[in-house]
Chains A and B, each alone.
Chain A
């Protein structure tokens, strides 16, 4: 599904991502972890097109993404959530989902006129589904800015799903959540996988990462220092060193 080949992104002298090789198979839930500043968010930003790679390639379903601008990548099937939530605060929950319906599938199904100038009727069922899934149906007309933090996170995820992605990049979705919320998030991610979405999960919160991923890659200083199943990673000495420094039991 997604392949990064010696991907690098430098900012002046800082090598945020340095020669990264990564391969995510279809239907996987792939974790990307690493200490602060290891290049996780930059990797997501490069995949979605916010930054161009300094060198290396990104292949999505076999296609080189180099020439594809950001908004087209969404259409190609890549959606993301933001670490610090970027909802459209002045739009309602319903509208936040509505503006995100830009998938290739939607474009083929509805004509240009209906998609842009049609009213809410045509997509009512679909958006209701998304609202159901994230438990926000009762707040559909509320301004996104007025939602509670947890609700905003759920909306952020739902909005990414509105685009019917094949690959979903989650950027630290569990930040600031308590155990109960993390458990609910885990359930939701697993349900997404059931629907056929491949997921790349960038995360700090180990409770989530270890409990939901099939495979994990560990970054440090922009480079991959380990890759394997959650169990393998937990036992890996280099990972320990990166997180805890030196020899820690």
Chain B
């Protein structure tokens, strides 16, 4: 109740403060949104029930790596887990992980009607999609790349002469990084695209997992159907993310039998194209959304 004598009816500019400081650009907006989306998807600031499934998945992926390193420690000659096998084994887990986080990132915003809130801010619609892709990709890297790097480090340090072993293994590290990163963003983009079509997380989860599983069966069926035309049959991998990844990993690590008989560039190109197409569809779709 403050009042100066004789000056009733004054309006105090108390609550609203003008901001004259530096204004950051789109890159920071994208990074901010990505950071927030990552925290939310992992269940931070939410009750423990939201954190169980991510924790379980991390555990599931960590255990083989730790076992492999442990075995290596005691039996240096015995290689329990090789990198191509690792990437093959984690496909299901990474798929489930993407099915966990992508709907959390995209479908929640639709369901909770946050889109008008976001789009009335300076973040553009394409930036929004890019931020989500960045977030999904980075988070999935923690599943697809990080454990492999730990394995690589373990292998290196447990070798009789660590430093030369690590140096010799740099080529492997490079391959691991390529494989892990491509897997993360490839599966992430597909998961985001599917999630962007619905506001119901559960529907998105179902379609993502089913998509990954069924596409594998579909490519097997195509392979069978075209077994007399191997030059055509090998393109069946395009249909199936798991087979595409297996092809890429196989070609990368010099074991072409893991996947289709398609050169590395083509496999990488297919993955990059899929990422681009997913982004393109999402850009177009969100432009029309309000």
Q: Do A and B come from one complex?
A: no
